[in-house]
Structure 1
Amino acid sequence: MPPVGAALWRSLRAHQVYGANTDVGKTIVSTILCNGVQQQKTQGKAAFLKPVSTGPLDEADDRHIQRFGAGTTTKCLYQFDEPVSPHIAARQKSSTPPRDDEIIASVHRTLSEWAASSDIDFALVETAGGVHSPGPNGTSQADLYRPLRLPIVLVADSRLGGISSSVSAYESLLLRGYDVHSVLLFRDEYYQNHEYLREYFSGKSIPLLALPSPPPKPPSHHPDALARDADAMASYYHRVATHTDVAALLDELALQNTQRIDRLADMPRRANDTIWYPFTQHHGMAPKDITPIDSAYDDYFQTFAPAAPGPDTDGGGSGGGGSLKATFDGSASWWTQGLGHGNPSLALSAAYAAGRYGHVMFPGNIHEPALSLAETLLRDSGNSRLGKVFFTDNGSTGMEVAVKMGLRAACARYGWDAGNEQISILGLKGSYHGDTIGVMDCSEPGTFNKKVEWYRGRGYWFDFPKVRMEGGVWRVEMPAEVGGEMGEDLEFESLDEVFDLQGRMGEGAARRYREYIYNTAERLVYKDGMKFGALIMEPVILGAGGMLFCDPLFQHCLAATIRNHPSLIHADASKLTPKPKSSPMSPSGELPSWSGLPIIFDEVFTGLYRLGRHSSASFLSVDSDIVVNAKLLTGGLIPLCTTSASNEIFAAFDSPEKSDALLHGHSYTAHAVGCQVAVEALRTMGEMERGGAWDGYRRDWAGVSSDGDAEGNGEGGGEREGSPRVWSVWSQEMVRELSCAPAVEGVFAIGTVLSISLRDVEGGGYTSTAAKGLQETLAQGGGSSFQVHSRVLGNVLYLMSSVTSRPEALREIEGVLRGALV
């Protein structure tokens, strides 16, 4: 079922009616509002939609509206006969109740038809029961209807205990990103809930209308009870219409709908006037280049698309139309999204920590979320070296800390004076570790830093063999400048073979890699006189450098060569360094000393299931001395970063002198909200892995025949038995097809990442525009049921899903890619 955009039209004021509890009079309030619209002679007609109804047909809410709604258009989508909760009624009527996405699509389709109608301009979508009453599949209604994000008319509870249930209902809606536009309830002069709630909601600028209580039903045994009830209700509705200010409330709802659209339409202009965007050249930028996002849910932005200018519109502002479109977040919001936008469990975790702590000073103190997160990271890392966790706020500052750690440890061991000597790092070409000035110096000169006045570039960066599929074959392409030393390009039948490090260690490529690394390091240290304080790598994929997929064997050999030959770094290193008790190829579980150089893994992008595993280092069979995690750490909700290090690295800062401490931090260190959300995110992703949530993708990449037998599997560290070492949410066949497309230079997919390099006669690179055409095709939808937001890195277009993305959506995106390229 294709996703739908949130429900918003200028031509239709659509609201959703939620009740603070069951039996609070939602349908009576809906009838009052519909009648009020019908009496506004200058307005169009009202419409009433009941998505799910339970109970006898003659007592259905839409029937009540038909009887008393003065010509209101009514519709019920799913009617179940039993007067019980929808999740029970649906099971009793059918073994396959309508799916949540089917219900949402039906609601949106109905509202769209009414929005296109010339005589309907007001619609109510009424829920069943209370805010958290379950839908047909057991999903809380607050979550079930969230993709539509209709503005809310909340019917409060006027009974004993109604203040509490009304406030609780409001807060539940607020936590899920709804806008409550009005509150209505019936007067009860004994409990007077309306007086308290009027003051409560007035402080939030939400209007409250107190209505006369409806007449009690006549005794059911009375011979003409139905007729008497009908007469009483008709009289009641007439009295409400003439003696309450329903018209003013309806005018306020209409104004809020118009203002919401006007704000969205005007946001690009205002943003263009006031916002300085990151990684953006503003020269020539105009408001039309800026996309307003009204909300986000699951994998989708709800983006505002103004109506095309015409005789009756100006394309925006108060005279324009426009609507919201579902746009797949194809960059995973700069690689942060893991569990979907608007995830209720993450939002509740954040609210819990905010309510429990807010923010509390961290140094010298401890709170449960930070402690739990630190222990979880160390326990689940798979890296026996790690023993301490340092908190920062984002990947760049986390890497700043990592570099400080590594350089201090190396200088302490080798007796270097960093104040008077240049201490550099070893890394890979195309590396990117952030934009703070320290880690900027850990990357080679390039577009990101060459015009930064303080940039110096303190390191040496190895060129390296890159992996991608070309013409249906997995190829390891040797860099031109070192091809003679590392040999010719390599070809593999499967990606699993590329990652079979144990099998590849006996091949000539491993020997050539080690020789090249050894000879280069020896020249740098003993001929050029360079001093190195750390080896820094992004495992497997170098993200911002252009989605560069490094041969994992090369990264393994680089780590092993530096560790196994410490004399490459310092002539007397063997005298200063305890001999490692385990090799980086097969960690023994012991805690060896670092050797040669502290190894820092920047897993800000690649870690925590982005590539399908908890740690991307596991692909390399290397335990780093320091690792940095961010982005997916909180599932995409809030900034947080951790830098984990070995106890030996920690010991390099341990001294009686305060100045020897790691004097780094920021005011919001170990923010309790971020830590609590991270604990929940890691718990959820871990359960998904253990529960086999991605087994379908693994079967696809294992080559599973129709009878379910795997045609080719491999053992993988931490992988499920019989599964491939490497798999992706993007289908293997699609990757193969794209690799054969004339416009495609190369392609790869791993975990949630898909990277497509397009041919560019001018040579590609970050400033290339070769991928712009494909980006525009995706943005326009390319014939799919939704648009796709994507980012390009020069001639490389990449797409990234969350770990919860639905296969149906991914296959639809693949169809657009095939149509554009194959």
Structure 2
Amino acid sequence: MKSPVASLLWRSLRVYQVFGANTDVGKTVFTALLARAAKDLPSKEAVSFLKPVSTGPADEADDYHIRRFAAGVAHRTLFQYDIPVSPHAAALASGKETPSDEYLLAKCRDFAVECAARGSGWLFLETAGGVHSPGPSGSTQADMYIPLRIPVVLIGDSRLGGISQTISAFESLHIRGYHVQSVLLFQDSQYENHVFLADYFNKHHGIPVVSIPAPPERAKDADQDAEAMAAYYARRDCQTRATQVLEHLDRRHGEHLASIESMAAEAHKHIWYPFTQQSLLKPGDITTIDSAHGDYFQTWTPPTTKAAQANTPVLKSSFDGSASWWSQGLGHSNPKLTLAAAYAAGRYGHVMFPGYIHRPAMDLASTLLDGMRNPRLNRVFYSDNGSTGTEVAVKMGLRAARLRYGWGTDQKLGVLGLRGGYHGDTIGAMDMAEPCAFNEKIEWYEGKGYWFDYPTVLCKDGRWTVTVNDELSKDIGEDRAYRSLGDIFDIETREQRGEHHRYEEYISKVLVALQQRNLKFGSVIIEPIVLGAGGMELVDPLFQRALVNVVRQSPHLFSSTTHPAPRDARDWSGLPIIFDEVFTGLYRLGRFTPSSFLGVCPDISVHAKLLTGGLLPLCATLASEHIFDVFGSPDKTDALLHGHSYTAHPVGCQVALTSLREMQAMERRGDWQWARAQGWQSSDDASQSSSADNELWSWWPRDFVEMLSRQTERVAGVWSLGSVLAIHLRDDAGAGYSSNAAQGLRDALAREREGAGGPWNVQARVLGNVLYVMASQSTKEESIRQIVELLQEALV
């Protein structure tokens, strides 16, 4: 099976990547020196050289040089292009099929595996040109080689301008997560770049700089040139310094391995984990992540036996099946987001926000408001995370309701929501949820509100069903089957059939009963479409729409004495409607906002998670101008006195802006067309529309979802929408957060498998009896297909 390329890390094989600060800085000369010195070490280990891409005549190629001056070193060039130009231009001019980045990296790993099989040794992988010279596909090498995560030897530039070139090359590698272990360059008495760079790298980065005399000028006569180079390589000072570099590289290799292998035990002693009962946690249960790229972690694999240590890969690729707690959107270590963060950090760092503005915050606010297409929303309040953002939202909503209805500050107000709703872990956010495993043992918890029961959506035994529990069925009727998920989400047609009437009657009856108990409410807060931490429940969208409509049409149910009419069509009515879109927003479900599924616009909405593509914490609470006006008065204490030191920090805002614009560009380019074409918009869907804005689709194939639902002995139901796949397992002891029913399926996915790219598995999380797997917005079709195969093996 094809799999992502795992990092090239073995215990016995030391792999180093040789990058050049520029072209023609001596990469091959230094690599030859290191290879020769490694061959001469007392350990007599195997030494190998790999040139993934080479351009120019074969008799001038780098592996030819290695073969001539580093005898006994195994060597290989993967792609040789005769034209002496940039690899991307040479590949194009060759008329041959251009290898993809993934294919080229897989071939690199294949060679490394061969080297590791020979036992202890060294492998030097030499790049072409400078750090940002393009590979055959056009990707710059600094981006292309990231997945291999090979530590780097950087060859500096000793020529005029070389100081700048070398530092710039280092910074390009450093911000992409490369470990630059050493800088090597030639000595030049005229410029003495080596003197400055040695001081600079030692002072600022603790990286050793080693310089050696420059090789002789190239002789016109080939034989004379070869003799001169042989003499140069035989120089004692060259050999001594190359050996010193190898000793340093060997030491760093050992330190890296020791750090990886000890980290879990250290964490077990000192780290307090969230959502974890640590009395049940052993060091072996802790997964050590060495790096991450795209959808995959590189995780430590403990050796099964001592014999397996030598040539067994230390790391495996683990698919990040929870999108890193639902925050990962554009892939780990995405260079665009990395550069956005670096730019804002370099330009601003952090600057205080009250009464100030900076471009990243302004542009992000505009992008969010435009993307929502909500005529009610006009203001953006920044905070740090979703839990804080929902507290901000409720502060806004409660104040608006209190002032409109004339309640005093001593009037206790609650919220209306849905059972199982979850809005965060700060004290105020916990109070917005009914008693549950997340809050009921917290000393300050006071559940302040009422939470409606609701019908859910599942595909059960191949049939898409609106499911109603026994208690609720007395009010809204029994389960109802539909031809497709699209039919369920075609809420306008369902309303034409009158399906919403029983929902509205039930909601109104509950609100009347609450009013008779003299309970007061200040806001409605719901997670639109999907309740996340509450068990990955897909709520019938018609019910949520009915809830919003009834509340807006019934101000008399919230105050018997006064209920002023809304000032205009954009004003709130009944109660302020808050959509907690922290989980479901920003393309999680295939659209910029899930409110478009419901056909209603909230008065306040909260956005985090995918907002920054998983790189930094940031939250934005969007509100209407009418909500904003409530806090306006000459008295400062009437203001929304909320915030934190890092409100609207420029780094987070710039990253979020870049993330949103990239996802919007992906939508415009049709990057998700392969997922849209997986049968969700079939001809029998009543909801089918030519407009992409109205499409309902998923990264997970419809026929696969419906097939899983037919495994009725183990599966209670399945649903999928956007990037989310949720499998509800049967549990005779009862569903819920305390259930263990999904752990076996999670363990089956976590089992290590061997693929063409190396060992790999899937890291997934469970919510009681529900196993969910979540793609990022940049997940490729191949990865989805592989996980589909694993789930089929585990369940069928």
Shorter chain as denominator, the TM-score bin is over 0.9
Q: Distance in 1 between matches of 2:206 and 2:629?
A: 56
Q: Distance in 2 between matches of 1:537 and 1:244?
A: 69
Counterpart of 2:697 in structure 1 is 727
Q: Distance in 2 between matches of 1:703 and 1:497?
A: 10
Counterpart of 2:654 in structure 1 is 676
Counterpart of 2:331 in structure 1 is 340
Counterpart of 1:480 in structure 2 is 470
Counterpart of 1:587 in structure 2 is none
Instruction: List aligned pairs for 1:69-108, cutoff 5 A.
Output: 69-108=70-109
Counterpart of 1:588 in structure 2 is none
- Does residue 458 (structure 1) correspond to residue 427 (structure 2)? The answer is no
The range that moved more, 65-74 or 780-789, is 780-789
Q: Distance in 1 between matches of 2:528 and 2:193?
A: 60
Question: Secondary structure, in 3 states, of the residue corresponding to 2:97?
Answer: coil
The partner residue of 2:314 within 311, 323, 326 is: 323
Q: 1:665-722: per-residue Cα shift (whole Å, max 9, x none)? A: 0000000000001111111001111111112211223456xxxxx56573569625xx
The partner residue of 2:379 within 375, 388, 395 is: 388
CA contact (8 A) 1:499 1:552 kept: yes
Aligned residue type for 1:280 = T
The partner residue of 2:224 within 225, 228, 241 is: 228
Counterpart of 2:761 in structure 1 is 787
Aligned residue type for 1:35 = R
Q: Distance in 1 between matches of 2:776 and 2:15?
A: 31
The partner residue of 1:810 within 762, 784, 788 is: 784
Which structure 2 residue ranges, 5 or more long, are not aligned? none
Q: 1:598-630: per-residue Cα shift (whole Å, max 9, x none)? A: 000000000000000000111111100000000
The partner residue of 2:485 within 489, 495, 503 is: 495
Q: Distance in 1 between matches of 2:144 and 2:237?
A: 33
Counterpart of 1:751 in structure 2 is 722
Taking a change above 3 Å as real, the CA distance of residues 662 and 162 of structure 1, as seen in their structure-2 partners, is same
Measured after TM superposition, the shift of residue 781 of structure 1 is: 4.1
Instruction: List aligned pairs for 1:137-286, cutoff 5 A.
Output: 137-203=137-203, 204-219=205-220, 225-240=221-236, 244-286=240-282
CA contact (8 A) 2:698 2:723 kept: yes
CA contact (8 A) 2:116 2:311 kept: no
Q: Distance in 2 between matches of 1:87 and 1:158?
A: 26
Q: Distance in 1 between matches of 2:686 and 2:675?
A: 13
Question: Secondary structure, in 3 states, of the residue corresponding to 1:328?
Answer: strand
Counterpart of 1:766 in structure 2 is 737
Measured after TM superposition, the shift of residue 208 of structure 1 is: 1.0
Measured after TM superposition, the shift of residue 783 of structure 1 is: 6.9
Counterpart of 1:61 in structure 2 is 62
Measured after TM superposition, the shift of residue 16 of structure 1 is: 0.2
Counterpart of 1:415 in structure 2 is 406
- Does residue 607 (structure 1) correspond to residue 585 (structure 2)? The answer is yes
Question: Secondary structure, in 3 states, of the residue corresponding to 1:776?
Answer: helix
Aligned residue type for 1:299 = D
The range that moved more, 90-99 or 765-774, is 90-99
Measured after TM superposition, the shift of residue 782 of structure 1 is: 6.0
Taking a change above 3 Å as real, the CA distance of residues 417 and 624 of structure 1, as seen in their structure-2 partners, is same
Taking a change above 3 Å as real, the CA distance of residues 782 and 473 of structure 1, as seen in their structure-2 partners, is farther
Measured after TM superposition, the shift of residue 506 of structure 1 is: 2.3
Aligned residue type for 1:798 = Y
Q: 1:4-47: per-residue Cα shift (whole Å, max 9, x none)? A: 11111111010000000000010000000001001112240211
Taking a change above 3 Å as real, the CA distance of residues 646 and 379 of structure 1, as seen in their structure-2 partners, is same
Question: Secondary structure, in 3 states, of the residue corresponding to 1:128?
Answer: coil
CA contact (8 A) 2:389 2:620 kept: yes
Measured after TM superposition, the shift of residue 479 of structure 1 is: 2.5
Q: Distance in 1 between matches of 2:686 and 2:102?
A: 35
Q: Distance in 2 between matches of 1:550 and 1:441?
A: 22
The partner residue of 1:797 within 771, 782, 788 is: 771
- Does residue 577 (structure 1) correspond to residue 565 (structure 2)? The answer is yes
Counterpart of 2:535 in structure 1 is 546
Which structure 1 residue ranges, 5 or more long, are not aligned? 220-224, 582-591, 705-709
Question: Secondary structure, in 3 states, of the residue corresponding to 1:245?
Answer: helix
CA contact (8 A) 2:413 2:520 kept: yes
Q: 1:547-576: per-residue Cα shift (whole Å, max 9, x none)? A: 0110000000000000011111112444x1
Q: Distance in 2 between matches of 1:160 and 1:30?
A: 23
Q: Distance in 2 between matches of 1:467 and 1:102?
A: 41
Aligned residue type for 2:12 = S
Question: Secondary structure, in 3 states, of the residue corresponding to 2:315?
Answer: strand
Q: Distance in 2 between matches of 1:666 and 1:86?
A: 49
Q: Distance in 2 between matches of 1:321 and 1:439?
A: 47
Aligned residue type for 2:588 = R
Q: Distance in 2 between matches of 1:322 and 1:256?
A: 18
Q: Distance in 2 between matches of 1:242 and 1:454?
A: 69
The range that moved more, 199-208 or 673-682, is 199-208
Q: Distance in 2 between matches of 1:323 and 1:347?
A: 27
Q: Distance in 1 between matches of 2:90 and 2:312?
A: 40
Measured after TM superposition, the shift of residue 580 of structure 1 is: 5.5
CA contact (8 A) 1:183 1:209 kept: yes
Q: 1:87-115: per-residue Cα shift (whole Å, max 9, x none)? A: 11111223521111000111011112211
Q: Distance in 2 between matches of 1:15 and 1:212?
A: 22
Measured after TM superposition, the shift of residue 499 of structure 1 is: 0.7
Counterpart of 1:52 in structure 2 is 53
Measured after TM superposition, the shift of residue 480 of structure 1 is: 1.8
CA contact (8 A) 1:466 1:477 kept: yes
Question: Secondary structure, in 3 states, of the residue corresponding to 2:280?
Answer: coil
For these two proteins, the number of residue pairs brought into alignment is 790
Aligned residue type for 1:359 = H
CA contact (8 A) 1:306 1:322 kept: no
Taking a change above 3 Å as real, the CA distance of residues 747 and 166 of structure 1, as seen in their structure-2 partners, is same
Q: 1:351-372: per-residue Cα shift (whole Å, max 9, x none)? A: 0000000000100111010011
Aligned residue type for 1:158 = S
CA contact (8 A) 2:484 2:685 kept: no
Q: Distance in 1 between matches of 2:238 and 2:296?
A: 44
- Does residue 520 (structure 1) correspond to residue 498 (structure 2)? The answer is no
Q: Distance in 1 between matches of 2:553 and 2:667?
A: 34
Measured after TM superposition, the shift of residue 376 of structure 1 is: 1.1
Taking a change above 3 Å as real, the CA distance of residues 528 and 550 of structure 1, as seen in their structure-2 partners, is same
Measured after TM superposition, the shift of residue 2 of structure 1 is: 2.1
- Does residue 304 (structure 1) correspond to residue 300 (structure 2)? The answer is yes
CA contact (8 A) 1:299 1:341 kept: yes
Question: Secondary structure, in 3 states, of the residue corresponding to 2:459?
Answer: strand
Name the Cα RMSD after superposition.
Answer: 1.6
- Does residue 116 (structure 1) correspond to residue 87 (structure 2)? The answer is no
Percent identical residues: 51
Taking a change above 3 Å as real, the CA distance of residues 15 and 427 of structure 1, as seen in their structure-2 partners, is same
Question: Secondary structure, in 3 states, of the residue corresponding to 2:225?
Answer: helix
Counterpart of 1:819 in structure 2 is 793
Compare relative contact order (CA 8 Å, sep 6+) and give the higher one, 1 or 2: 2
Q: 1:719-774: per-residue Cα shift (whole Å, max 9, x none)? A: 25xxx731000111110110001211110000000000111110121011111111
Q: 1:405-442: per-residue Cα shift (whole Å, max 9, x none)? A: 00000001011124x22201000000000001011000
Measured after TM superposition, the shift of residue 579 of structure 1 is: 6.5
CA contact (8 A) 1:698 1:727 kept: yes
The range that moved more, 265-274 or 474-483, is 474-483
Question: Secondary structure, in 3 states, of the residue corresponding to 2:121?
Answer: strand
Question: Secondary structure, in 3 states, of the residue corresponding to 1:644?
Answer: strand
Q: Distance in 1 between matches of 2:706 and 2:470?
A: 25
Q: 1:578-601: per-residue Cα shift (whole Å, max 9, x none)? A: 2663xxxxxxxxxx2100000000
CA contact (8 A) 1:17 1:127 kept: yes
Taking a change above 3 Å as real, the CA distance of residues 717 and 764 of structure 1, as seen in their structure-2 partners, is farther
Question: Secondary structure, in 3 states, of the residue corresponding to 1:578?
Answer: coil
- Does residue 42 (structure 1) correspond to residue 43 (structure 2)? The answer is yes
Q: Distance in 2 between matches of 1:551 and 1:78?
A: 55
CA contact (8 A) 1:580 1:595 kept: no
Question: Secondary structure, in 3 states, of the residue corresponding to 2:222?
Answer: helix
Q: 1:282-314: per-residue Cα shift (whole Å, max 9, x none)? A: 01211100011000000000001121144x58x
Taking a change above 3 Å as real, the CA distance of residues 702 and 578 of structure 1, as seen in their structure-2 partners, is same
